[in-house]
Amino acid sequence: MRFPIVIHKDPDSDYGVTVPDLSGCFSAGATTDEALSNAIEAIECHVEGLLLDGEKLPTPRTVEFHRSGESFADGVWALVEVDVSKLSGKAKRVNITLPERLLVQIDAFAARNGDTRSGLLAHAALEYVAAHDGR
């Protein structure tokens, strides 16, 4: 999942990171690179906690949605990719049936993006459930 983050810097402080879609998820770093890396770790930890508690994973909104709020006016926006499929639980082998043409498309897309078939399917399923779960 791609999460928008906002990076802010006050004089005499490290770079702070806020993840608007995950209430209470913050991070920081001495450099922007460190702040981005720490933001991914903070998001993974936050999402892991949500999943372990059986809570709904929020669907990340767009930067444009968040930018309209005044609380992040002075920040720099970025998107970070978090592989939520690897979080909360061990892998379990399953057998599914898909049309061959779709499987070829899935494999090609996964390969282009440095992913595996299983990783892509898990990621897509989590995003779909988060976007359509009415809880």
- Whether residue 77 contacts residue 18, with contact meaning beta carbons closer than 8 Å, is answered with no
For strands 15-18 and 26-29, give the pairing. Answer: antiparallel
Residue 92 has pLDDT above 80, yes or no: no
Q: Looking at the predicted structure, is the pLDDT value of residue 33 above 70? A: yes
Entry pTM: 0.67
Task: Output the pLDDT for position 133.
Answer: 73
d(CA 98, CA 94): 13
Q: In this predicted structure, what is the pLDDT of residue 134?
A: 63
The percentage of the chain sitting over the pLDDT mark of 70, rounded to a whole number, equals: 94
Domain 2-132 class?
Answer: alpha beta
Q: Does residue 84 carry a pLDDT above 80?
A: no
Rounded distance between C-alpha atoms, residue 98 and residue 86, angstroms: 22
Share of the chain above pLDDT 90, in %: 40
List CB contacts of 22: < 8 A, sequence separation 6 or more. Answer: 3, 43, 46, 47, 58
Domain ranges of the chain: 2-132
Residue 10 three-state SS = coil
pLDDT of residue 89: 64
Is 19 buried (19+), middle (13-18) or exposed (0-12) by CB count in 10 A? Answer: buried
Given a cut of 80, whether residue 87 has pLDDT beyond it is: no
